[in-house]
A and B are shown apart, each in its own frame.
Chain A
Amino acid sequence: MISSSDQSRDILTARPPRTGVWPAFVSFGAVIAAQAYAILTSPAEGDMGHLQKIMYVHVPAAWMTFLSFFVVLVFSVRYLWRRRENDDLIAASAAEVGATFNGLTLMLGMIWGRPAWGVWWVWDARLTSTLVLFLIFVGYLALRAFTDDAQQKARWSAAVGAIGALNVPIVYMSVKWWRTLHQPPSSPATLDPRYTMGLRLNAIALLLVMIYFIRRRYEIARLERAVEHMAEAAAMGGQ
């Protein structure tokens, strides 16, 4: 079994990340290709016309929000169980990326809502629960920013992250549990096949971006933690 002191030593010996730029090019290239495919091949939808094209960015952004917060849940629980710093850093990285996608989902939803519903915002169950999810993870990031003690920061944020991520099923089910202006979730069975491929490709492309973001953010967090450990060791007499 690896002790937390072994883990600290592991982080202490971290070297600057060597990840090249190719994952960024691949993932962003995939997004450009997927968006071009979806925009060029999808016909105007019966009710919404070409406004339907917003779905190719809004829906995958929402899925990446859910996935990122699932990563937060898994690694927060792992941290609370094993107390390894790496788990805390992965959870924190996924939380930042998830909050970014969550904010993007809300903005895209508003841009969609104005022409489709006639309003930028409505206190509908889906929109409100998504906003609550966003605020929980903004609070999570603020908690980390304002807590100095690394172990306390990790413990508290693991608790907030795990509880916050439990809001994801509420967001997902909100359109089924309550009567909402937001439409219920689509599935391949309910979606016109002409739109399915574009949506899938955009989801896969954004998944690549999400993985790249979390990986990159984790490498930076690990480096920052290594600097903290080295500075602490220097302050204690250069151990």
Chain B
Amino acid sequence: MITAASNLNFIIAAYTVTWIVLLGYSLRLVRKGGRARADYERIAQQRSGEKSQ
């Protein structure tokens, strides 16, 4: 049976899921961005090293 108290649980669940998704996707972007930037720096350094030789 759905009661006012259990309604509150569903409301809390909805807002919790929303924040998990928003913060989870933000974290994914931070990690992905960090990896991409590291790859870029590594290859850029390799290229500048090759040119200077």
Interface residues of A (CB under 8 A from B): 16-17, 24, 28, 31, 35, 49-51, 53-54, 57-58, 61, 97, 100, 103-104, 107-108, 111-112, 114-115, 118, 209, 213, 216-217, 219-220, 223-224, 226-227, 230-231, 234, 238
Contacts and interface: CB of A to CB of B under 8 A. Distances in A.
Contacts of B14: 53-54, 57-58, 108, 111-112
Q: Which of the listed residues B8, B36, B46, B47 has the most CB atoms from chain A within 10 Å of its own CB?
A: B36
Nearest to A114: B10
Contacts, number: 89
Contacts of B15: 35, 57
A231 B18 contact: no
| Dominant SS among interface residues on chain B | helix
Interface of B: 2, 4, 6-8, 10-11, 13-15, 17-18, 21-22, 25-26, 29, 32-33, 36-37, 39-41, 43-44, 46-47, 50-51
Nearest to A224: B36
Contacts of A227: 36, 39-40, 43
